[in-house]
Amino acid sequence: MRHSVRALLFDGDEIVLFKRLRPGREPYWITPGGGVEPGDASLESALRRELDEELGAIAGPALRVFTLVEPGHLGTVFACRLVSMDLSRRSGPEFLEPDIGVHEIQRVRPEKARELALVPAELGEFLAEAGPTLPALLDAAAYAHGRFRPVVDVHLLLLDEGRVLLGRRQGTGYADGEWQIMPSGHLEEGESVVGTAVREAREELGVEVAGCEVAHVMHHRNAGGTARIGLFLTAATVTGTPVNAEPHKCAELAWFPLDRLPERTVPYARAGIEAVRAGSAFSLHGWERPGARDLGAEAVRAGFSEVTVCLVGRRGDAVLVLSDAETDRLPSAVVRPGEGVEDALTRLGPTGEAGFVGADDYVSASGLSGRRLAFTAPLPDETVATSFPAADEQGAPGEAVRRLIPIASLDAARLPHSERLLVAEALGRPDAPGSP
C-alpha cells in the first residue's frame, strides 16, 4: 500500500495551490504534498517535510480532515495555516527540472475549487463543500473559540513565620526547573475560587485548608504569549503537614523567606508574592512592551525547541521585504544555540531600536515546536536601495532580492497573510520605534 500526504494550506482564508503547466497537457491544480518516505516518523512529519521541500514553508498546527482511498494507495489530507514561506529553501527535485513543467503558486478561495481542474477531483469536491469552514476549525484547535475566556489561575500562599512554600517544577513542559507557588492550579468549570484552592491543597500537598481569602488579583500576560487572571489567596488554617503528593510534576518542596525568594522563581509567581507582601489589592504584570531578552527567556520557559526572529523594517512610507519571482517575505532568522534574540536580530541587518510586534507558534520541518517573534524597527538609509527592481529583476525562485514595498501597496503584496498581519500590527502601534 502506497501512502501519501497532502496539505490544505490556508493563507488567510485562501488555499495555496500549485497550477501545473506541462507540455501537451491542459493546466491542472494540485495541493502541496507527496509520498511518505521510509525516514518519516509519522504522517505529519511527512507533511512538514513536503511543505519544506516544495515551498520552504512552515505551518502551524495540522489537523487530519480527509482521506483519499484508491486501489493500492491511501492519501491523508491535513489542514494547516501558513506561517512563513521561503522559496530559497525549496529542494524538491520536481522544482529543479524545468522539463517536467511549471509549478505556479496560486491562492484560491476554497469555494472556487469546483471551477478548477483540481487533482484528485474528490479533493476538489471536499474543498468546495467543507473548505470555507476549515479556518474556524483550525482556529478552534489553536485558540479559545468564540468570546475570549481568560485562563484563571488560583495560587494559595501557605505562610509560616515569614516564609512561603514553593515547589520546583518538573515534567510539566512549562518553566521546568523553576520555583512556583504551592499549591496552585486552574479554576475549573463549576468550581469556586476557594474550592479550587482547597482542591489543589489536597491534591498537591495532602493538606486541608480553611478560611481562604483572596489577597491579590493580577492581570498577567506572558512575554509574547497569552494573558490570564491570577488570584492569590491565603488560608487561615492548614491541617496536616505538606508533602510532595505529585512528584511527577514537582521535584521538591521548600520554604523560603518572603523577601529572599530563589533566583529561579517563575516571574509571575514572584510578582504575586511581592504584591501580597506589599498589601496591594490589584496589579497588572507583563503588559509593558517586552524586551528581546524577556521574550527569549519566556520562549525557553514555555518549552519551545526553536525560536525565530522576524523583522518589519521601515523606512519612511515603505517596508523591507525579500522578493523572488513568486513571493515576498519578511526577513527572518532562527536563533542559534547560545545566541540571544537581540543577536539574531542583528544578523538581519542594521536597524534602529527594535520594538516587539507580536508572536505566533509553528512546527518546523523537522518537527520542532517553535515560536516566531516579530519586531519592528526603522532602517538606516544604506540598508537597501530606494529604487525598486524592475519585474524582470525579481530573480528566479530562490534568488531573493531586498526591496521596499510602499505601505499603500501592502494589500497587493505577495506576503503570507500572517506576515501581512504583523506588518499591520507594526504600522498600528503608536509606541513602535520609528512610527510617524
Question: What's the mean pLDDT in 42-53?
Answer: 96
The answer to whether the CB of 432 falls within 8 A of the CB of 355 is yes
Closest C-alpha among 30, 241, 220, 40 to residue 116: 30
Neighbours of 289 (CB within 10 A): 12
Question: What's the mean pLDDT in 102-116?
Answer: 91
Cell numbers for 117:
481542474
β-strand pairing of 73-85 with 63-70: antiparallel
Instruction: Please state the CATH superfamily assignment of the domain spanning residues 299-427 in this structure.
Output: Nucleoside Triphosphate Pyrophosphohydrolase (3.90.79.10)
pLDDT-based confidence at 426, cuts 50/70/90? very high
Residue 140 CA to residue 61 CA, distance in Å, equals 11
Residue 421 CA to residue 415 CA, distance in Å, equals 10
Reduced to 3 states (helix: H, G, I; strand: E, B; else coil), residue 216 is strand
The answer to whether the CB of 120 falls within 8 A of the CB of 6 is no
Report the mean per-residue pLDDT for the chain: 89
Cell numbers for 137:
476549525
pLDDT, tens digit, 9 for 90 and up, residues 12-39:
999 999 999 988 889 999 999 999 999 9
Closest C-alpha among 259, 237, 153 to residue 196: 153
- Is 2-142 a domain of CATH 3.90.79.10? yes
Buried-state track 235-259, b at ≥16 Cβ within 10 A, e below 16: beebeeebebbbeeebeebeebeee
Q: How many CA atoms lie within 13 A of 102 on its CB side?
A: 13
Q: Minimum mean pLDDT among 68-72, 333-337, 343-347, 425-429: which range?
A: 425-429
Residue 434 in this model has a pLDDT that exceeds 50: no
Closest C-alpha among 279, 292, 253, 435 to residue 375: 292
Question: What's the mean pLDDT in 43-49?
Answer: 96
DSSP state of 393: G
Q: Which segments of the chain belong to CATH 3.90.79.10?
A: 2-142, 151-285, 299-427
pLDDT, tens digit, 9 for 90 and up, residues 155-214:
999 999 999 999 999 999 999 999 999 999 999 989 999 999 999 999 999 999 999 999
β-strand pairing of 208-210 with 282-285: unpaired
Residue 354 in this model has a pLDDT that exceeds 60: yes
pLDDT-based confidence at 98, cuts 50/70/90? low
Q: Amino acid letter at 154?
A: V
The answer to whether the CB of 27 falls within 8 A of the CB of 104 is no
User: Nearest 5°: phi and psi at 407?
Assistant: -55, -35
Supply the CATH classification number for the domain 151-285: 3.90.79.10
Place of cell 488555499: 15
Residue 61 CA to residue 44 CA, distance in Å, equals 10
Of 71 and 9, which is predicted with more confidence? 9
Residue 284 CA to residue 300 CA, distance in Å, equals 23
Residue 336 CA, chain-centre distance (Å), reads: 18
The answer to whether the CB of 174 falls within 8 A of the CB of 301 is yes
What sign has the CA pseudo-torsion 148, 60, 376, 435?
A: negative
End-to-end CA, the chain: 60
Residue 79 CA, chain-centre distance (Å), reads: 16
Residue 399 in this model has a pLDDT that exceeds 90: no
The answer to whether the CB of 402 falls within 8 A of the CB of 320 is yes
The answer to whether the CB of 245 falls within 8 A of the CB of 256 is no
Question: What's the mean pLDDT in 125-149?
Answer: 77
Extract the runs of DSSP E, i.e. beta strands, from 235-279: 237-239, 250-257
Q: Minimum mean pLDDT among 88-97, 346-355, 358-367: which range?
A: 88-97
Of 375 and 432, which is predicted with more confidence? 375
Q: Give the containing element (helix H, strand E) for 314.
A: strand 306-315
Torsion of CA 79, 85, 87, 89, to 10 degrees: -90
